[in-house]
Amino acid sequence: MITIGIIIGSTRPGRNSEAVAKWVYEIASKRNDAAFEVVDINDYDLPLLDEPIPASMHQYMHPHTKKWAEKIASLDAFIFVTPEYNHAPTGALKNAIDFIFAEWNNKAAGFVSYGSSGGVRAVEQLRQIMGEIMVADVRTQVALSLFTDFENFSVFKPASFHETTLHAMIDQLVSWGEALKTVRK
């Protein structure tokens, strides 16, 4: 069975992504085809790219980088929970992705996004980034609207149809995650 990390892609105080990640986890953890865990980038205290050697060289010097690399290496696939800030993913999420390289390679990713336009523009950029770090991203995306899935833009109340989309995305993610696990061996 593969392990899928649900990555909270915001570190902003008062962020909505914790509630969204919890919702994803509650639904996903009822499945029996993968193990799921929430990974909060806020718990890793990653400063802005402080490693002196590029991540692709795989020569990490700082304890926070090694801890982050170990966590990502332990996972087979990812669900990125990302808000959209100014038509893009958060700087904190981009920084966390850029901190390491090999640990992402030959794995699969899906996306749960939110924003005024469902966070789709943030995910479009993440899809490009995934290609560069050798992560295969699945087609189906859960796109949550700040206008209809959050009361007063802060209390998460997703429409019921999002659960069906989430399961479809996870189905794809499990298939791709299992296939890519064989590539890594």
The domain segmentation of the chain, as residue ranges, is 2-184
Span 97-102, average pLDDT? 97
Tokens of 40: 């909060």
Confidence of residue 34 (pLDDT cuts 50, 70, 90): very high
Question: How would residue 138 be classed by pLDDT, with cut points 50, 70 and 90?
Answer: very high
Q: How far is CA 13 from each of CA 16, 17, 42, 113, 159, rounded to the nearest angstrom?
A: 9, 10, 10, 18, 25
Grade residue 32 by pLDDT with cuts at 50, 70 and 90: very high
The arithmetic mean of pLDDT across residues 70-79, rounded, is 98
pLDDT digit string, tens, across residues 142-172: 999 999 999 999 999 999 999 999 999 999 9
At residue 86, the pLDDT reads 95
Q: What pLDDT digit, counting tens, does each position of 165-184 carry? A: 999 999 999 999 999 999 99
CATH ID of 2-184, from 1.10.3660.10, 3.40.50.300, 3.40.50.360, 3.40.190.80: 3.40.50.360
Length of the chain: 185
Alpha carbon distance 150, 163 (integer Å): 15
Nearest to 90 by CA among 80, 100, 76: 80
Mean pLDDT, rounded, for 114-125? 97
- Whole-number percent of the chain with pLDDT over 70: 100
pLDDT of residue 100: 97
pLDDT at 112: 98
How far is Cα 156 from Cα 134, in angstroms, rounded to an integer?
32
pLDDT tens column, 37-65: 999 999 999 999 999 999 999 999 999 99
Name the DSSP class of 31: -
The pLDDT assigned to 136 comes to 98
